[in-house]
Every structure is written in C-alpha cells, then in structure tokens.
Amino acid sequence: KAGVTQTPRYLIKTRGQQVTLSCSPISGHRSVSWYQQTPGQGLQFLFEYFSETQRNKGNFPGRFSGRQFSNSRSEMNVSTLELGDSALYLCASSLELAGIHEQFFGPGTRLTVL
C-alpha cells in the first residue's frame, strides 16, 4: 500500500507570494492533518480535514488555509508569504476506524521564503 505522498518536495518563494501544497493520503484514509515544523517552534498542528470538512484548527493566522477533496486528497494554501513561514510542512493521514487514530506522515514539503 502506498504511503502518504506530498508534492512538491521543495519550494522556494519570495515574500508576498502565495503557495499551494498537496497531500495524497493512504488509500482508504479519510482524515488528513497538516503540521508545520520549524527549528524554533518545533511541530505545530495547523488543521485537520475529514470528509471534506475542516474538523480542527490550530493557532495560525488566516493566511493559512486548506481544503479536502472527495477523494480525500488535501491541499493547504499560504497567502502573502512571510519569511517566518519557511518550514517543513508535514501532512499526516489517519484511518479513523473503530477507535484507531494513528497518524501516518508523508515526507514533507520544504518551503523556503526569501
């Protein structure tokens, strides 16, 4: 079974631009969560989508948004990029069945904002 895939793996953008990252979950997984990883703040929860609906949201500004499609694939968007948005963005999918909430992570997208 294929794991969680994320595209692109690397991105370089400049301040003020916007960016869209994509995540394809493990087949059959309906929950997709996004995390931001930085050296200073560590791993922080961004949001979670389940059945095309945002179910949970972390403490990030409105510039960070996401969506989920009917095939469970998810995208996250960051508008008006700031230098501090440089990070590794990780996506995780979960089966959400019979109390199983284990999350499986993708390789991440490394975003650099210049």
Partner 1 sequence: GNSVTQMEGPVTLSEEAFLTINCTYTATGYPSLFWYVQYPGEGLQLLLKATKADDKGSNKGFEATYRKETTSFHLEKGSVQVSDSAVYFCALSSRENDYKLSFGAGTTVTVRA
Residues of the shown chain interacting with partner 1 in the complex, contacts defined by CB under 8 A: 4, 6, 33, 35, 42-43, 45, 48, 55-56, 58, 90, 92, 94, 101-108
Q: Find the shortest distance in angstroms from Cβ 114 to partner 1.
A: 20
The number of CA neighbours under 13 Å toward the Cβ of 76 is: 31
Is residue 30 a contact partner of residue 100, using CB atoms and an 8 Å limit? no
Is residue 16 a contact partner of residue 78, using CB atoms and an 8 Å limit? no
Is residue 31 a contact partner of residue 23, using CB atoms and an 8 Å limit? no
> Rounded CA gap, 42 and 61, in Å?
17
What's the angle, vertex CA 84, arms to CA 26 and CA 63, rounded to 5? 65
